[in-house]
Structure 1
Amino acid sequence: MKLFVLLMGFPGVGKLTIARELSPHFAAKIIDNHWFNNPILRLIDDDGTAPLPSGIWEYTGRVRQAVLDAIVAYGPPSVNFIFTHAGIEGDERSIRTFQQIADAARQCEALLVPVRLLCDEEELARRITTPARRERLKSIDAQASRERSRRAQVFDPQHRFTLNLDVTSKTAEASAAAIRDHVLSVAADDFASLLGNNVAIPL
């Protein structure tokens, strides 16, 4: 069964770090959201704190779609993928991003498992100021992080396999283990559902 895991959470929550811990469990390739963003963000003067031009995300969305189209066209059947996404509830761009990934999963006949990574406001503000983030063109504005935590929620796709995971006091290893267990449980239930519907399973 091909697998797409989508890690969603605010900047600084540890999406990429957790993805790196999780990937060996499923022999998965990591597709980080900054793969799509950085080719465009490197073209503008961005200090990590100033607001970005709103139109910039149209271009990053095109890059994302090109990568997903390539996965659908050329991704080996045995390769799984872990995606990261800083989605915000009620945000139109976040909805489009999820739909792009969900459409690619459907075309690949992959099991899609969304994971909402949740974190305490102050811990998130502490994590976001890590110097290594700036080297990867990531936001480092602690105050903006606090304001985001107070006024917004992590995107909820209303998907039946969604896992809500509080990572405030969890290590990346513990978070990855919890996600692994959830994915295995979901995969077992999904497989049992197919058998219950008398769907032929290739051997």
Structure 2
Amino acid sequence: MIIVLNGYPGVGKLTIGRELAELLKARLVDIHTLYNLAFALTEFRTPEFRETVRRVEEIADELIAALPSDIPVIFTTVLTGETGWAMEEWQRFLDRSDQRPPLVMVHIVCGLEENIKRIQSPERKGKGKLQGAEVAQRNHASSKPLIGSDLPYTLRLDVTALKPEAAAERIAAHCSAVLATIADLG
């Protein structure tokens, strides 16, 4: 199973992902794990940046392919709009799920005030994560659609008032229901 925690910066994807990985005995691949080498050695959004990310993702995909098939893999990401970059990333998730079905999309959202509080959290500093309130305000104002909403196993989860543990439990329950549905159909 591939589980994608998709949402704007500061909604709690990584924190929830850690809890979910523990619950499901899954592997967690955070977007910053894939992007930090490119951030450190290239300029953002340049061809060199994108090529570095591609190469890191190729290594990750090789390692994922070597995992036992019963180990879920959780990704955190921000897939919005339909830019070339976002669509390339989306295709990579579709390809991964062909090898490790099913693909479960979880769109994590939270209210603006809570998003601002989270995005300004001191824990984000020094981790290459966006921190400004203006980022949350811009994202809420533009509200580009999150990619993958049309998949059959997509869950939209508002975590404004949820603790990470509760959010992870809801996602785990959703994943169990998806697997049960597939087994019933199979």
> TM-score scaled by structure 1?
0.83
Partner of 1:133: 124
Partner of residue 28 from structure 1, selected from 26, 32, 44: 26
Cα distance 1:79–1:32, how it changes in 2: closer, same or farther (>3 A)?
same
**Contact 1:21–1:172, Cα closer than 8 Å, also in 2:** yes
- Superposed CA deviations along residues 29-54 of structure 1, whole A, max 9, x for unmatched, are 10111111101112258xxxxxx444
When the two structures are aligned, how many residues end up with a matched partner? 184
Partner of 1:89: 81
Q: Work out the CA distance in 1 between the residues paired with 2:161 and 2:172.
A: 18
Structure 1 runs of 4+ aligned residues shifted over 3 Å read: 52-55
Partner of residue 43 from structure 1, selected from 11, 19, 41: 41
- Superposed CA deviations along residues 50-69 of structure 1, whole A, max 9, x for unmatched, are xx444433432332233113
Matched-pair identity in %:
29
* Counterpart residue type for residue 135 of structure 1: G
Partner of residue 5 from structure 2, selected from 7, 24, 37: 7
| Rg (Cα) greater in structure | 1
Partner of 1:115: 106
Partner of 1:62: 55
**CA drift at 1:4:** 1.3
**Contact 2:3–2:75, Cα closer than 8 Å, also in 1:** yes
RMSD across aligned positions (CA): 1.7
Greater shift after overlay, 138-147 or 52-61?
52-61
Q: Work out the CA distance in 2 between the residues paired with 1:166 and 1:143.
A: 21
**CA drift at 1:111:** 1.7
Q: Work out the CA distance in 1 between the residues paired with 2:23 and 2:106.
A: 16
* Counterpart residue type for residue 76 of structure 2: T
Q: Work out the CA distance in 2 between the residues paired with 1:75 and 1:181.
A: 23
Q: Work out the CA distance in 1 between the residues paired with 2:81 and 2:21.
A: 26
**CA drift at 1:130:** 1.2
Greater shift after overlay, 157-166 or 93-102?
93-102
Gaps of 5+ in 2: none
Q: Work out the CA distance in 2 between the residues paired with 1:154 and 1:39.
A: 28
**Contact 1:8–1:154, Cα closer than 8 Å, also in 2:** no
